């Protein structure tokens, strides 16, 4: 996953931030325990959101304790008690992130592509383990990656088609969190819209780079002569629509805990990151104003 689904730290209380960090750190620890230390490199904020959402819907309580990170043993870290959820999310994270590595190998250039290639070879046995644990998810990811490759080869100008593969994978990941059919439908919708937003965020973020390199980007198809500001405005319209649908779907869920944290991610963190991508001039101006 690409790491766009993140918190806005300044809007969280200290306790909420510690809970989020506890989920992130424990997910990192469980991923390393199941798949080796190299797999930790694939950990993303997106999957931390998935883990927090699953815990928020669960009936059993979630507790935190103090522990130490093996990479920074002198600093105490919050640790989450729900290792069963985090193990499942670690499996999902490995499968989804490995798919992203393969996409980078296929479309990337230079050192980034070679780094992805080496890491994909190193983690191939881990991917097989994760596929044995979640065979249906692994098969869906393979199907979606093939669909994505075909769309890129055809240079489809449709943002809906371009984002469909990532949207379907994310929808399937969130469906796994459901405890009944009603929740499954809501989570499928939330996951689809969130996956669509993630893909389009990456496309909007890469607009300038893809225009120079000639890489496929649905926002650039047939619009090569348009100004970047115009393309970013069009991207923002699509992004806002997807994110609004995510919030509407989330409002229907029976959330038992972490509501402020999850809303911070969907309503604050994602929005702030989206604005920094579609209006990069504001980010530069705000950075300058803070430094004065």
Quick one: pLDDT band at residue 113, thresholds 50, 70, 90?
A: confident
| Selected residue with higher pLDDT from 83 and 90 | 90
- Residue 178 pLDDT level (bands cut at 50, 70, 90): confident
Do 190 and 252 touch, CB atoms closer than 8 A? no
Contact of 25 with 78, CB cutoff 8 Å: yes
262 falls within a domain: yes
Is pLDDT above 70 for 1? no
The mean per-residue pLDDT over the stretch 277-285 comes to: 69
Top-confidence residue, 261 or 152: 261
**Domain assignment of residue 135, yes or no:** yes
Flag whether pLDDT at 155 surpasses 60. Answer: yes
User: Is position 103 within any domain?
Assistant: yes
- Give the CATH number for residue 257: 1.10.600.10
Residue 172 confidence (pLDDT): 94
Q: Is residue 3 part of a domain?
A: no
So what's the pLDDT on residue 144? 93
Segment 68-89 shows an average pLDDT of: 80
Structural domains in the chain (count): 1
Nearest to 99 by CA among 171, 27, 170: 170
Residue 270 lies in a domain: yes
Mean pLDDT, the chain, rounded, equals 87
Percentage of residues of the chain with pLDDT beyond 70: 93
- Count of Cβ atoms closer than 10 Å to residue 96 Cβ: 26
Per-residue pLDDT of 29-59, as tens digits, reads: 899 999 988 888 888 899 999 999 999 998 8
Does some domain include residue 123?
yes
Residue 215: alpha-carbon gap to chain centroid:
21
Report the percent of the chain where pLDDT is more than 90.
56
The confidence band for 100, taking pLDDT boundaries of 50, 70 and 90, is: confident
**Residue 59's domain spans which residues?**
9-291
Q: Could you tell me whether strands 64-69 and 72-80 are parallel, antiparallel, or unpaired per DSSP bridges?
A: antiparallel
pLDDT of residue 24: 92
At 214-248, the pLDDT tens digits run 888 999 887 655 688 888 898 999 999 999 999 99
- The secondary structure of 30-62 as a DSSP string is HHHHHH-GGGGGG--HHHHHHHHHHHHH-SS--
Among 8, 51, 53, 60, residue whose Cα is nearest residue 250: 53
Answer with the residue of higher pLDDT: 194 or 43: 194
Q: What is the pLDDT of residue 289?
A: 31
| CB proximity list for 29: less than 8 A, separation 6 or greater | 69, 70, 79
pTM of the entire predicted model: 0.90
Residue at 216 is within a domain? yes
Sign of the four-CA dihedral 124, 202, 87, 74: positive
Angle at 241 between CA 9 and CA 167, to 5 degrees: 85
Instruction: Give a yes or no: residue 136 inside a domain.
Output: yes
Mean local confidence (pLDDT), 257-265: 96
Q: What is the pLDDT of residue 284?
A: 38
Classify 111 as helix, strand or coil.
Answer: helix
| Average confidence (pLDDT) over 250-273 | 96
Question: What DSSP designation does 11 have?
Answer: G
Distance of CA 168 to the CA centre of its chain: 13
């Amino acid at each position: 996953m690409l790491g766009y689904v993140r918190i806005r730290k300044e809007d969280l209380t200290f306790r909420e931030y510690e809970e989020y960090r506890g989920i992130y750190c424990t997910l990192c620890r469980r991923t390393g325990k199941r798949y080796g230390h190299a797999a930790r490199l694939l950990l993303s904020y997106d999957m931390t959101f998935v883990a927090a959402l699953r815990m928020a819907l669960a009936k059993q309580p979630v507790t935190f304790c103090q522990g130490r990170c093996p990479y920074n043993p002198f600093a105490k870290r919050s640790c989450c008690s729900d290792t069963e959820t985090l193990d499942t999310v670690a499996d999902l994270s490995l499968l989804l992130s490995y798919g992203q590595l393969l996409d980078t190998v296929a479309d990337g250039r230079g050192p980034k592509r070679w780094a992805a290639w080496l890491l994909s070879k190193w983690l191939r046995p881990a991917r097989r383990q994760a596929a044995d644990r979640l065979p249906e998810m692994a098969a869906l990811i393979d199907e979606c990656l093939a669909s994505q490759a075909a769309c890129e080869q055809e240079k489809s100008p449709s943002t809906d088609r371009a984002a469909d593969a990532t949207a379907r994978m994310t929808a399937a990941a969130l469906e796994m969190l459901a405890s009944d059919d009603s929740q499954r439908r809501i989570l499928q919708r939330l996951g689809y819209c969130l996956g669509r937003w993630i893909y389009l965020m990456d496309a909007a973020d890469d607009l300038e780079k893809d225009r120079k390199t000639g890489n496929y980007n649905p926002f650039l198809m047939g619009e090569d002569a348009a100004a970047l500001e115009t393309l970013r405005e069009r991207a923002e319209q699509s992004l806002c629509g997807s994110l609004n649908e995510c919030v509407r779907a989330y409002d229907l869920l029976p959330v038992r805990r972490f509501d402020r944290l999850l809303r911070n991610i969907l309503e604050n963190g994602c929005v702030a990151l989206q604005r920094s991508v579609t209006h990069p001039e504001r980010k530069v101006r705000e950075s300058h104003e803070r430094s004065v």
